[in-house]
Chains A and B, each alone.
Chain A
Amino acid sequence: MYDRSAKLSAKGVVIEYWLQRSRTLFTAVQGVDLTVRPGELLAIVGPSGCGKTTFLNAVDGLIPIAGGNLTLDGREITRPGPDRAMVFQQPGLLPWRTVLGNVIFGVEAQGTMSKKESIARAKHQIELVGLAGFEDAYPLELSGGMQQRVNLARALLTDPEMLLLDEPFAALDAQTREMMQLELLKIWSQTRKTALFITHDIKEAIYLSDRVIVFTRRPGRVKDEVEIKLSRPRDLRVKRDPQFLTYEDRIWESIQEELAVPAERLIAGVPAA
């Protein structure tokens, strides 16, 4: 495998959790093997409820793994750390803080940067995500797309080794989503930060990433892997490229198989055959 050159390496990762009311142990992810290479943008797609977000939470260190091995730069992941930063599906902005106040919240929580320095850098970061002039606006005054830009800037300001993105554009309308994809690629191409992007949108996964990984249905495992060899920089017209459509068909069929599996595999906690 690519172990030596891997930024993130997952080997046989199992994630379980207890359902409180029914007191049953639930397996969300069952033996995930994957690596993310340095500077790569890797996307994970899969049927909804397949455990892809759960897996990302484990990479962030928010939930523990029950088995296997999860390392970033060779160090085992046990808790959140400044080497990772998450862009969340819900913006999660503090409503009483301005855009500037929210962007510095990440580094403030980490305690890794002086306030003066963080404000100076945040201003630059806000410009980078296209929010110049909105530094003093409150989250309620922003549209959904603008809130996600703040969410992204907050993560970027911590200058992580790896950027984790949890369906960040899923809640946006179709046009805003496409604009945000374009913007994300523009920002990403300037830093080439290693990134793990979770989505259920196949087009989005292909458009953004260097490689797409398909998860099986729950409990999730790696089912398929597609190298995306579309040249960069990519504009939105790439989405109508014949090569793009070939990737889309392949991934779509792969997910389709998962949706068509027999009903007994739908039962919670039963491992896949």
Chain B
Amino acid sequence: MSIKEADRVLPVTAGESNATREKRSVVQPSRIKQYEPLVLGTVSVVLALTAWQLVANARIYSILFLPGPWDVAQAFVKLFQTDDIWLDIGTSGMEMGIGYGMAIGVGLVLGMLMGWYTRFQYALDPFVNFFYSTPRIVLIPLFILWWGIEMPPKIAVIFLGALFPIIINTMAGVRNTEAALLRVARSFGASDALIFRRVVLPGSVPFILTGFRLGIGHALTGVVVAELFGSRAGLGRLIAQSADAFNMPDLFAGVIVLAAAGITLTAGFGWLENRLVPWTKD
């Protein structure tokens, strides 16, 4: 759809009931247009994969450096027939689960306290600012020195990576409670506890979910980079080891598993958001 066409979508008049508040257009809506995003998206991915395959087939670069999508797919299947991959996925998954779970627990509590009690925020702001503006992965060598190459340093990095986006967004959610709603609640004599539970908390849910979603990206980066530095098992280790052995198909397969995990988790939170906060969609 060109911009010109988009301009011809008519504005919806204010004050109409929702039943009539549907997108309007002066051209007759076509059925095909509905599937346009899906169709065009698929076509572009297929084209990209074809181009990749063609370049790989031309063998300008050795298969050592650039395997084609078909090679990667084969490696992927072979990889999943071994037990090692499940150990790697299990290890990384467990590190993620523990680190990210802790970040959610601690982040929610600290974020709410900082949003609700201004003085608490003033006191903790220096620490939050320090950690939020420092890439937490630079702390990995330190953690390895302290705790070795088992799970604890990875969990620590994932925890710190996900913690701060969750704190900051939760705090913003609590802070951004609409003043008009607070006034209504106070006017009816609501207690602070009731205001927090029934007004502030439900209103913060969209912000909190955004924090969770941003946290996933940081956590995934943390798990891979920490494993690159030194580990016995995990997807990061798989990628590092494959690179050392010039096993490009396996390396790509590791990347794909990570990408799939990221996309799945992010989409999961998107779905959760639609379920929990339907009122923001309009």
Contacts and interface: CB of A to CB of B under 8 A. Distances in A.
A144 interface: yes
B277 interface: yes
Contacts of A109: 185, 188-190, 194, 198
B186 A94 contact: no
B181 A92 contact: yes
Q: Which of B18, B184, B190, B198 has the most CB of A within 10 A?
A: B184
A94 B180 contact: no
B16 A94 contact: no
Given A88-B183, A94-B202, A173-B15, A110 B188 contact: yes
Interface residues of A, number: 32
B118 interface: no
A95 interface: yes
A173 B183 CA distance: 24
Q: Which of A94, A141, A158 has the most CB of B within 10 A?
A: A94
A210 interface: no
B134 interface: no
B282 interface: yes
Interface stretch (A26-34, A75-83, A232-240): A75-83
Interface residues of B, number: 25
Given A95-B279, A96-B202, A96-B279, A81 B189 contact: yes
Contact of A140 (B16, B18, B184, B185): B18
Nearest to B18: A141
Interface string A135-161: 000111111110000000000001000
Q: Which of A82, A85, A140, A176 has the most CB of B within 10 A?
A: A140
Given A143-B17, A173-B15, A90 B188 contact: no
B172 interface: no
Contacts of A139: 279
A92 B186 contact: no
Given A109-B185, A109-B194, A143-B17, 7 more contacts: A62-B183, A80-B186, A86-B187, A88-B184, A110-B190, A141-B17, A143-B15
Interface of B: 14-18, 178, 180-181, 183-190, 194, 198-199, 202-203, 277, 279-280, 282
